[in-house]
Amino acid sequence: MFEKSFLNVSVLLLLVACSDTNTENTPSSENTHSPEVAQQLSGSQSGGADHPGNLLYAANCSGCHDAAVNRAPHRLFLEMMAPDMMLQVLNEGVMQQQAKDLSAVQKADIVEFLVGSDAPESPFKPLWCKQGNMTFDFDQPPRLKNWGMTLDNRHFISAEIANLAVDDIPGLALKWAFAYPGATRTRSQPAFAGGALMVGSQDGTVYSLDAESGCIRWTYRAGAEVRTGITLQPWDNEAPNTQPMAYFADLVAWVYALDQVTGAEKWRIKVDEHPSATVTGQPVYFDGVLYVTVSSLEVVPAADPKYPCCSFRGAVVALNASTGEVKWKSHTISEQPGPVAVNSAGTPIMAPSGAPIWNSPTIDPKRRSIYVGTGENYSSPAQGSSDAIIAFDMDSGAIRWIRQTTAGDAWNLACMPFIPDHANCPQENGPDVDFASPPILLSTGGREILVAGQKSGAVYGIDPDTGEILWQRKPGRGGNQGGVHFGMASDGQTVFVPISDYDDHMLPPDAAQPGLYALNAADGALLWRAVAENVCEERKDCDPGISAAITAMPGAVYAGHMDGRLRVYDAGTGKVIWETNTDKSYDSMSGAPAHGGSFGGGSAPMVIDGVVYVNSGYGLYFHMPGNVLLAFSVDGK
């Protein structure tokens, strides 16, 4: 999955030594950002070869972080950490012992070399809630519990929960805006309970915000960026759980449980020891068990011909939700990787590898099954479980069936044209068309069906008992950026399909059909299509397609586009009934700079009690950066 949701230009160029100049994916004069906002949102730049931290890193850190040592996150993860977070790790965290012989200046040099200088203290202070906004309301249990809003990943919100009539949508106006400090991307799906919104951020901070005003109730700092949404443990109004937990995962595959009321940590566990392991799919809670999917960024170090590519395997992990204890772990590839050949640089080639899981699992209580979609293999030979939908037994983790839709897809970054040495490129060389979007489980036409969308642009109807393909339709051109990227939605009878068809400079741009499509869930027949108008003009890193996950409610579909537009479509016709351009500056409650940008990742709009909540900003891989959580209501009230 080349979007990988993580890659910025500086990481790629640094890893493969394509350039001596570090180029961040930041706003420029071609964008609508002001210079002040651009400076605030751009993040720090890492140092060059002559930086004093370079030799210090080589002598003290690279032996583990550049050498695929278990539990040592690869350097690309370090480069995405906040400076203060990394310094804290060296001074009092897990690397304290390894850094004990380094002076304060030397530690600062290493941090600056990797991620830039620590930002000066902001003159803007967070807006903390006053006593009247602090009370956790146990009469408001979580109604949207998981990433897909429900266990079936339909991404559908009932009329009762949304409490927003379709006829009132044209009157939506900004209610409040919350700025994530120093961020260039917003990836975490907000969750709602007790009158609070809980959401993660790029610097690892998890916020509990008062849903009415946007003020801060509590914060918790994780060890790395929080990309997943927050999953909430439910409770019953008649027998409230006084300590319900909130679950999420971070960039380096740690999973956390916090007290929803106070933010106090209950437990944490690392679910995969591979140095490139990560979690992007939001954990799913069901019947006392937390199900976590594991992916990786090993496609990136594979660009280095000296890297032994590749050894990661995708996995699903079942955790005791109360304690974090592992109940079972099952890999998408059963065979352990081992050396199978040597590349042109004399480095061992490892296989089998890959088949990561980028999406949240879909839960099927009736069959006691879990369904996930997988990505490509990283090394040859390609396996039968890549680019596939896999059914796991919910109780044991055993694989029940595998339905592969694209065979022979082995790919990593060494295959890209701008990489000078393709030593680690598998002989299959792509096409890198993962299932990044989770399958949807629904009942229609007298039977149950799984609907799965792929980056190839294809959508499949699949029998959940056998994995047999019942129908297929290809509304998009597809490509390594999608096609279907992060998440479809369904009202049960219609499947709403967002198409990215991003211009990847490899596939024909004239064949692209970005926009929103509606398919009959029973047979895949096309009901309508709404091809997105290109309003980018000369804006840098702007694209009309839909990469981010979408949300449906009765009569309407909410979709954030890569051009910064949030649009609401009529569910029956595809006509746009409301839109707003979020690629602009906002006044946030604390006064800190806030700016929207592209919509991307698994964070979809959430509609609850008459308010639409949505993250804007996705400064990754040539998308427009941003750092704002927006709340819209009728007339802004």
Report residue 42's pLDDT band, with 50, 70 and 90 as the boundaries: very low
Fill in the amino acid letter for 345: A
Per mean pLDDT, which range of 45-54, 453-462, 593-602 is the poorest? 45-54
CATH architecture of the domain with residue range 9-115: Orthogonal Bundle (1.10)
Nearest to 257 by CA among 194, 325, 183, 210: 325
- CA R_g for the chain: 23
pLDDT tens digits, residue range 481-493? 899 999 999 999 9
Torsion angle of C-alpha atoms 105, 80, 613, 218, degrees rounded to 10: -40
In angstroms, what CA-CA distances link 64 with 67, 82, 100, 600?
A: 5, 20, 16, 32
Residues 6+ apart with CB under 8 A from 570: 166, 555, 556, 557, 576, 577
Distance between CA atoms of residues 147 and 145, nearest Å: 7
Residue 240: its pLDDT value, please?
62
pLDDT tens digits, residue range 171-189? 999 999 999 988 889 999 9
**Tally of CB atoms within 10 A around 420:** 10
Domain ranges of the chain: 9-115, 136-634
* Per-residue tokens: 263: 């933010």
In angstroms, what CA-CA distances link 591 with 18, 27, 80, 112, 588?
A: 40, 21, 26, 28, 5
pLDDT tens digits, residue range 133-171? 899 999 999 988 777 778 999 999 999 999 999 999 999
* Per-residue tokens: 81: 């950490």
The mean pLDDT value of the chain amounts to 87
553, pLDDT greater than 60:
yes
* CATH 2.140.10.10 is the classification of domain 136-634: yes
Nearest to 292 by CA among 253, 340, 241: 253
Distance between CA atoms of residues 373 and 361, nearest Å: 8
Residues 6+ apart with CB under 8 A from 408: 382, 428
Report residue 46's pLDDT band, with 50, 70 and 90 as the boundaries: low
Burial 311-333 (b: 16+ CB within 10 A, else e): bbbbbbbbbebeebeebbebbbb
Report residue 116's pLDDT band, with 50, 70 and 90 as the boundaries: low
Report residue 298's pLDDT band, with 50, 70 and 90 as the boundaries: very high
CB 261 within 8 A of CB 316: no
Distance between CA atoms of residues 565 and 581, nearest Å: 5
